[in-house]
Chains A and B, each alone.
Chain A
Amino acid sequence: MSKADLAAVAQRLYERFMAPLVLGGDLAPGPAIGGKRALLLDGGTAAVDPDVRSSVDVARVRIARRLVPLDTIDDPSAATWALGAALHDMIHAMHPDMGGALHRSAPEKLLTFASQVIDHTRAAGSLAEAVSRHTFFSRMFEIARTDTLVSWWTGSRRFLGTEPPPRLVAWPDVRKVHVDRTRVQLVELLGTQHVGRQEMFRSALAAFLEKIPLTDLATCNRPSPAFVWTGASLGLFATPNGRALGLRALALGPSADVDASLGRATLRHVKAKAWADIARIGDVLADRALAAALTEADASLASGARETNADAHYARSVGATYAIAKVASLGVHESVARRVTARLMSLAQTGVTSEQVGASMESSPLSQG
């Protein structure tokens, strides 16, 4: 494969997929890249149009500034190119024409190629790399396809991701044309696939998300795939800087929805008795509870506690329970500490999940010394 071919692939991937993923606009995947070429796209930035690259960089900095103050951002690394190519093929695999009579297994092959590429890609080795990857893929769950159903007096036709030809919408009054447009989100596109393919896609997507932990945390309130605590996301909280980035990423989403997702993920670990992870999860949740207790007013705290669902309650309760032990180490004034402790205790004693919290605490090896 010549460098020129790779440059063309990189340019097409960047300008028609990765750039719109950052800037917004039309996302036009295709043709498929494949696993081999995906791993050879490092340095493909040189082939990209400088104006497009400049616009993308500005937008990436803006995205990164939501998490960390910085002025410049690095070009995409080889891993980022590979992940981009993998996502490209994953999206392309859901093309409605893919899996037709002549290429029935094409979607599975593409998904396999994508999974291979994802497997080849190591986890972000630094926070800068994690931020860099996040800047490209932070909006991936906003991908939507507009399906247009055009019905006229003699029939109808559906256009998926394409505009209907003008001739079909001409003379709308005479031909009684009705155009119905529907936006289908990325996760809903999975439902258009058959079950096996859906499972492959979810698996590939989960693996993909594990390579971009910041995006995983920032979009944890997504309906699908459900957020789960992974080694990558928990590893992010292992360092103070990573913890700060991770908490900021969690704070990007609606608090109640984020708590609900975290609660579900935490409960899964509790049920699985993954105690080591639960301690780390507890720390994360404790930081969120402390932040809420220190900043939110009593009224909003109480109303939030009443309105969120059981999963959110669970996350807050776990966090409050772990946070009470941390109040003394905050170094705040005694009156503030008392007030914070009272708030945390009110969260921790929320009736719905107190028993569960107690049971989880009692059975934790940590509590058993």
Chain B
Amino acid sequence: MLDRIALHQTRLHTPGLGLDAKGVALGAKGLVLIPTVDRLVAWLSVYTQDRSLEDLLASLELRFVRSPMGTQEITLTFAAESSDRMDRVSETARLVGAFTFTGTSRHYVQYRDAAAPFGYDATELLATDAAFALYHDRFSQTYDAGKTVDLRALLLRLMPHVDPRTVDEPGMRYIVAEEGLGAALIHYFVRSQVDGEVTLAEWPPEGAFDDTPVRRYVVRVPELPPRMRSLMRTTPGLTSFVPAGPGVAVELGYRHPVQLRACPVFDAGGLVLLRGRGDEPWTLPKMPVMGDLRGFARVTLRDQEPRATSVARVAREPDPVRVTLRLVPSSAPWRNVTASAIPTAALPLLRRLAYALPSGALKDTRVALTDRGAFLTCPHGIEAIPLGTFFIQVHPGLYTPAGLDVVPKVAPEVLYRALGSPSGHAVFISHDGAALAVPNDAFVPLETVILEAKSWEPATAEIIELALTEEPLELTLAPVGVFPLAGTAAAPALPDAPKELGPAHEQG
């Protein structure tokens, strides 16, 4: 009889059963009761689709168990660790029709399900000496332990299914060639420049009447060209395998029912080649040394005796090969256009343009006036002065016309040396291939030579008189003379009405 464990229930009857942090009944182990091997394989296949068995492998044990009634089933026990792991395992078990239990030593009680979120507790334990006592809500059964099942052996015994989709899978391939085809296969790959490694593996004789071991070439090709895949697959004597995990590969065109990558039971230092059609897998406990395919290329020696070879003696110095420098049109974009040459006839235009040039262009541009015209250079680009022929600086002292390439296409340093490397000069190669050298000292800033300053004339400054300055009144006296009142006379006598000398009095 099972009781559903309630929330906050702490007392359990099943020995070895406890509650985890979530309050779920959990023992030290988990146990999956699988009715048949098919169901076991199904469980492995389903479980390894999304998860790896690596965390279970350390404690995983497959065992046949037999009930008192003689039925044989398979138990899969492992360390429970946590309810999360148990949940994953029980979901998979439920899918394949298996039962999940948890316990510690002998008594295993049904793991939680939807009806009992916190699990079950067996109120009445079976008194038995059997290896397992499983308590389910529908049954309670004891089982005796049988033989164990080796997972690796089980996986090796499982026959791969036919799966044509694996034929075009890219990636590494193992091609096993019979001994007679090995050399030809190697030369074929070498001739086709297919990278790979090859080794020669030996297997025990297949029959009792054979004394010699069976040799086969094992070729590992990282990337087999698609044109060769069909050949490798259909040629008798050649078997292609696709890696399915560390140390294991499955024949091309087949797929193992279990995700072997999730079952790290094979030695990564060896190689197990699982063949289809029920054939026994080819196993290499330890991979032999593999060599590069090119090391096995066919070597052909001349049959004849080597005759004396002619030895070259020192000859006279050969005549130098000289070609005329030419300029050809170039479609490359113009870069580093930092100089220009303005013919003498266009200098008036430069004078007119000077009025519109920005201050930066005037400051940075340097000009040298020669009998061939003016040469302008500007380290930031000469495009601000759109006159004359543009030049590209290919070398600190060498300029070639923009839009043209110098042929032969020698390095600028070589070209500069060929021109004599005139120190202190800037060399301009013109359109006809002629080179003009302008002394560096001749270049002066454009702004200093562009302006024609007029002579100045001194101007006389006049002091502006202060308009509001009041001079003091200075009474100056002159001699009054002998007759100081000469010409003076008294004013006429005032009449009754005084003489009107001003406007009428304003009435206030």
Contacts and interface: CB of A to CB of B under 8 A. Distances in A.
A164 interface: no
A119 B492 contact: no
A125 B490 CA distance: 25
A31 B480 contact: yes
A146 B485 contact: no
A32 B498 contact: no
Interface string B76-119: 00000000000000000000000000000000000000000000
B503 A139 contact: no
Contacts of A109: 485, 488
Contacts of B482: 102
Contact of B473 (A37, A102, A139): A139
A226 interface: no
Given A102-B482, A119-B498, A129-B503, A21 B473 contact: yes
Interface in A3-54: 20-21, 23-39, 42
A305 interface: no
B453 interface: no
Interface stretch (B121-129, B361-369, B402-410, B464-472): B464-472
Given A79-B502, A242-B508, A110 B485 contact: yes
Contact of A26 (B468, B474, B488, B501): B474
A98 B480 contact: yes
Nearest to A128: B503
Given A31-B481, A62-B468, A120-B494, A20 B506 contact: no
Interface string A101-123: 01100100110110011011111
Contacts of B488: 32-37, 89, 109-110, 113
A113 B502 contact: no
A161 interface: yes
Nearest to A109: B485
A91 interface: yes
A161 B476 contact: yes
B484 interface: yes
Nearest to B501: A79
Contacts of A106: 480, 484-485
B7 interface: no
Interface residues of A, number: 65
A145 B499 CA distance: 35
B483 interface: yes
Contact of A31 (B472, B487, B499, B503): B487
B313 to A, nearest CB: 117
Contact of A34 (B475, B477, B487, B505): B487
B500 interface: yes
Contact of A112 (B470, B490, B492): B490
Interface residues of B, number: 35
B484 A36 contact: no
A31 B498 contact: no
B490 A113 contact: yes
A126 B473 contact: no
A122 B502 contact: yes
Interface in A106-165: 106, 109-110, 112-113, 116-117, 119-127, 129, 139, 142-146, 160-162
B463 interface: no
A103 B477 contact: no
B475 A144 contact: yes
B15 to A, nearest CB: 104
Nearest to A133: B502
A238 interface: yes
Contacts of A117: 491
A127 B504 CA distance: 11
A30 B483 CA distance: 12
B106 to A, nearest CB: 109
Contacts of A110: 485, 488
A24 B491 contact: no
A178 to B, nearest CB: 22
10 contacts: A35-B488, A39-B491, A77-B501, A91-B475, A103-B484, A119-B498, A120-B501, A129-B502, A144-B474, A144-B475
The list of the 8 closest CB pairs from A to B, nearest first, reads: A34-B488, A24-B471, A35-B491, A238-B508, A161-B477, A125-B503, A36-B489, A79-B501
Interface of A: 20-21, 23-39, 42, 62, 77-79, 82, 89, 91-92, 95-98, 102-103, 106, 109-110, 112-113, 116-117, 119-127, 129, 139, 142-146, 160-162, 186, 235, 238-239, 242
Given A34-B488, A96-B477, 15 more contacts: A21-B473, A30-B477, A33-B488, A36-B489, A37-B488, A78-B502, A95-B484, A97-B480, A106-B484, A110-B488, A117-B491, A121-B501, A142-B472, A144-B474, A161-B475
Interface of B: 468, 470-492, 494, 498-506, 508
